[in-house]
Every structure is written in C-alpha cells, then in structure tokens.
Structure 1
Amino acid sequence: MSQHELQSTARNASGSTVDMKLEVVVIPVSDVDRAKEFYIGLGWKLDVDITKGDRFRVVHFTPPGSHCSVLFGDGVTTDKPGSVQGLHLVVSDIEAARTALISRGVNVSAIFHDVGGVFHHAGEEGRASGPHPARTSYGSFAAFNDPDGNGWVFQEVTERLPGRVRDGTTFSSATDLASALRRAAAAHGTHEAVSGERDENWADWYADFIVHEQTGEPLPT
C-alpha cells in the first residue's frame, strides 16, 4: 500500500482525519503467572485474565493514568521473551515515580539524561547521571525491566511539544492536574511581580497557561 493510500484510509467521508489512538502494546513473556505478579506489584490495573483451552491466555494491564494498555499471555506473540525494549512511561515527576516503584520492591535505575540531547536512546552509552541539568521536558529518564528483561523507561514530561495535544487540554490523573496548577501558580506569581499589581482574573490566566503548556505554544508572561 502506498503512502497516499495509507493517508487516504485515515480519512473519513467528510475528509477529516480519523483519530488513531494507540490501545494495546503486546509484550512477550516466558512465564505468564510470574509476569502477572510483577505487573500487579507495580500497582497497575489488571483488566482481564482470560484462558481459552490449553494454548491461549490473555492478560491485560493498564498503567495508572494511561489510555494505552499492555497485553501478554500464551499464544499472543511469537516474539522472544524480553525482546521488547524502550517502552516509555510518561510521568510529571520522575523522582516521585522512581521512589514509588522502589517502595514496591522494583529495581529502578538511577535517574539519567542523554548527553547532547533530550531524547533517550538505546543502551547506556551517552548517558549522564542525574536529571537533565535544565530539567528540560522530555529530558530526564529512569529505567527498569520486567522479569523477562522487557525494558521500561520513565520519561519526565512537563511541557508537551507543539501540536502534541489536540482537541482541548486533558489530564490523566488528579496528580498531573495538581502539578500543572502548581506550575501555573508559580508562573502567575512571577507575572504579578512583574506587573506590580494583583491580577483579578488569575483563574483565566491559569487556564491560558495550562492550555499553552500542553499544546507547546509560547507561555504567557
């Protein structure tokens, strides 16, 4: 199928683009029960555990606040157990996320950032210890593996790239919303200090700040 044909299939009768929301990522495991206990231990929501006959079983988990889930089991993939790497979990506070998993007994790497860039790459070469020096959004990471070696990466995102969020401003949890409000409050305090007067429309200012932050537009000052 050509690129043009692929683009055409993504449009409905009115010519608008059809949403394509990533729903499930399949991960290969060697021991389904062991993997199930591990992901329960992460605090993820067990959605289903379905068995049909002797050769088919599906286990489905959803991370907190995620719209995308993970699936593993028997007869669901021919990939080698542990072969999936670089599965990213976006968090608003990487230190809190790392501490939370460590408290659950998970072996999580120290926080790191990539030298010369903000995007994580495979392997440990080019990693530098600690969060990104400027605490750049998308720039700080921590990693852990499931029992088979499938690799997960925490990535701290506090401000989305331009155009990354469409159709309004959404939050995956009350914690993320609270973090956004704290960032807006701090920025608004600076705004009032510069203007030298109290802003009676602070709620509108907060809302504008949060929308601009999520859509990647220049932040109000």
Structure 2
Amino acid sequence: MSTDEVRSDGAGRAKVDTKLEIVVIPVSDVDRAKEFYGSLGWRLDADYATDNFRVVQFTPPGSGCSVIFGKNVTAAAPGSAQGLYLIVSDLTAARDELLGRGVKVSEMFHNEGVYVGPDDPYLFGRVRVSGPDPEHRSYRSFASFSDPDGNGWLFQEITARLPGRIDSAATTFASVNDLASALRRAEAAHGEHEKRMGGQRDENWPAWYAEYMMCEQSGKELPQ
C-alpha cells in the first residue's frame, strides 16, 4: 500500500475505511461473563479455547462491533472497562427489555450544566439529573448497567445524528426495530405536515417519509 492511499484528504479525513469491530472487555470468570452476555440477548459468535487461551465473542443486536473476553485475552484488570456506549433509538424499550431479562438497569437520566467535582465516566463532568432529557433531544438521555465484574455499559438514545456523522447517500438502519422507530417518527411528523396543509391527505407521503428519515439520520434540516 502506498502512502498516497492512506493520506487524508483536504478536510483531514482518511481515504481508507477503518471499521471498529472488536472491543476487549476484561473479566475474572469467563463462564459467568458468557452467561451474563447471553442473558442480554446478544448473539454468541465464538467460544474458542486451547490449553492456555480462550476467547468468547458476542455481538449486540444490530451492532457492527462485537465484544470479546476470555482467558489470556487482556492484561487489564477485570471490571476496568467503563463508558461502553450502546446506541439505541428507543431508550425506554431498550431499558424495559433488559429489565424483563432480569438485568439490573439504572433509571433513565440526562445531563445538565458543568460542574467541578469527581469525574463521571459517562457524562464528562456534567451533572446527572434523574429522568430522560425533557425535550427528548438526541444524545441527551441515558441509562446504565454493569456486568458481574463491574464493566460499565451505557445506553444512549439517538434518533437524529449530528451533521456529518452519517453519509446521506448511504443511509442505513441497523435493525427492524430501528427502521420501525424511524417510520413512527416520520408518521408523527407527517401528521403535523398534513395539518399545515389544511388537513388534506398528502398522496406523496412515501417520498416525504423517505426524505424525512434520510434527513433525520444525516443531520440535515427536516422537511416541513
């Protein structure tokens, strides 16, 4: 590979796709961790072992990134992985599902202001406030849980991405649930659109839905 192939373009963006697909989490008891992550409903991809090595891999539903743990996989202290983000489009549904699976999950919370005090691995120095973001803005609402070793996971609700985070020409949905949630938001917004039209039925609603969903994901201005 030549240096030209990996050189960034004028905007500072590398030309070669580099996809994060594995995160290593340190655990003390491999079988206990395997049982826990299986209880979340995550897909078991591998459980490979030799005399001195074992690796277990799980993938959260709809995720392009997997987690691995095992024996002699990492020298990090068990439980030292913190602030592991799981992005969801419906925080209430994600939290309720884990509660239904018997997993202890925190109440929903959001952040406000900036303070000087102990570091919060999730909120980067912001004050944690009980309940979801009052305006239900993307990136603002959270819930947390931990595995048996104390590795910390965080649900973050995102329904609309910041500009530039997603290529609008390659909009995708990671799962049926994500697509269904996007359709419901488009339906609600389209209802307001028809009200502004005097209550007339918009025969071109499929195109309006499509534009709304693509703009929402790519951070562009939403159609009115």
TM-score above 0.5:
yes
Paired residue secondary structure (2:170): coil
Deviation at 1:81, TM superposition (A): 0.5
Q: Which residue of 1 aligns with 2:183?
A: 181
Paired residue secondary structure (2:154): strand
**AA of the residue aligned to 1:195:** M
Deviation at 1:92, TM superposition (A): 1.0
**AA of the residue aligned to 1:184:** A
Unaligned runs of at least 5 residues, structure 2: 115-120
Q: Which residue of 1 aligns with 2:118?
A: none
Deviation at 1:113, TM superposition (A): 0.5
The question of whether the paired residues in 2 share the 8 Å contact of 1:56 and 1:75 is answered with yes
The question of whether the paired residues in 2 share the 8 Å contact of 1:168 and 1:211 is answered with no
How far apart, CA to CA, are the structure 2 residues paired with 1:200 and 1:10?
48
Matched, 1:201 2:201: no
The question of whether the paired residues in 2 share the 8 Å contact of 1:94 and 1:141 is answered with yes
Which deviates the most, 71-80 or 16-25?
Answer: 16-25
Distance 1:16 1:121, change over 3 A: closer
Which of residues 26, 48, 63 in structure 2 aligns to 1:66? 63
Alignment deviations for residues 92-117 of structure 1 (CA, whole Å, 9 cap, x no partner)? 11111111111111110110001138
TM-score by length of 1: 0.89
Paired residue secondary structure (1:61): strand
How far apart, CA to CA, are the structure 2 residues paired with 1:10 and 1:73?
36
Paired residue secondary structure (1:30): coil
Deviation at 1:52, TM superposition (A): 1.7
Matched, 1:146 2:143: no
How far apart, CA to CA, are the structure 1 residues paired with 2:57 and 2:36?
13
Alignment deviations for residues 24-69 of structure 1 (CA, whole Å, 9 cap, x no partner)? 000000110010000011111000000022x110000000111100
Q: Which residue of 2 aligns with 1:88?
A: 85
Q: Which residue of 2 aligns with 1:18?
A: 16
**AA of the residue aligned to 1:146:** D
**AA of the residue aligned to 1:143:** S
How far apart, CA to CA, are the structure 2 residues paired with 1:16 and 1:121?
29
Q: Which runs of 4+ in 1 moved over 4 A?
A: none
The question of whether the paired residues in 2 share the 8 Å contact of 1:137 and 1:157 is answered with yes
Distance 1:129 1:16, change over 3 A: closer
Aligned Cα root-mean-square deviation (Å)? 2.2
The question of whether the paired residues in 2 share the 8 Å contact of 1:10 and 1:17 is answered with yes
Unaligned runs of at least 5 residues, structure 1: none
Deviation at 1:192, TM superposition (A): 1.2
Which deviates the most, 191-200 or 70-79?
Answer: 191-200
* Count of paired positions: 211
Which deviates the most, 188-197 or 172-181?
Answer: 188-197
Paired residue secondary structure (2:202): coil
Q: Which residue of 1 aligns with 2:117?
A: none
Q: Which residue of 1 aligns with 2:50?
A: 52
